[in-house]
Amino acid sequence: MITKNEIKRIKNLRHKKNRKEEGFFIAEGKKTVLDLLKSGCKAEVLYAVDTFDEAEFTSVSSKDMERITLLKSPSNVLGVFRIPKQNEFSQEGLILVLDGVTDPGNLGTIIRLCDWFGISTLICSPNTVDCYNPKVVQATMGSLSNVSCVYTNLVAFLKKSNKPIYGTFMEGNSIYNTSIDPNCILIMGSESHGISQEVIATIQHKLKIPRFGTKNGAESLNVALAAAIILGQAFKP
């Protein structure tokens, strides 16, 4: 049985302010919840419609799950997890930096890409969407636990780094004609606004994904698609 206060609390965790104050976030879906548990994330409580043998849980009805879900289509498992404390993050290898990426789906996909390519650190500007936003968590499919998402002042961070700094633009050197240093910082901005002027001033190498289509079509790629293409090239053997 789930109480009205529990329902209200879960609904409130859709808001960044409440997540920050309480120190908890919501994860939905059996795979996402299991991956977070396996990575060591601490679950305060798990709710499940069906039997959930992998951990202790509170049984709820399908109707109650519909009342607490933060998704359009409720899953059978929902967990309330503690937000991990931010420890020292790794500065080894390629570090991806996001400037003003506000779409939750894009951020979630980029976190999955970082996990896939073995990138352990993702640096985000303060105006980038919160990585514990329910839609971001859902889109990561459990990869959130394997990537350190650090929110900080980008200019201050970049000025302290000794790594070569690359940025992605509509105009620049083709990624297919450029050797990208595997121990670099790679900066990407939002599709609509790009990289901010303050951050552009720190960039040493401008990259672009050349367009091969000749017909009037897509004018740009969303940041998640662009990240997949550029990371694939950066990690090319």
Question: Do 41 and 124 belong together in one domain?
Answer: no
Q: Which domain holds residue 66?
A: 4-82
CA dist., res. 144 & res. 99, Å (int): 19
Q: Same domain for 165 and 229?
A: yes
Total length of the chain = 237
- Residue 2 pLDDT: 87
**pLDDT tens digits, 3-35:** 899 999 999 999 999 999 999 999 999 889 998
What's the pTM value of the predicted model, to 2 decimals? 0.90
Let me know whether 145 and 222 are in one domain.
Answer: yes
Residues of the chain with pLDDT under 70: 87-88, 214-218
Residue 24 forms beta bridges with which residues? 82
pLDDT of residue 155: 97
User: For residue range 219-234, what is the model confidence (pLDDT) as tens digits?
Assistant: 778 999 999 999 999 9
Split into its structural domains, the chain has a count of: 2
pLDDT at res. 214: 67
CATH number of the domain enclosing 190:
3.40.1280.10
Query: Do residues 78 and 107 both lie within one domain?
Result: no
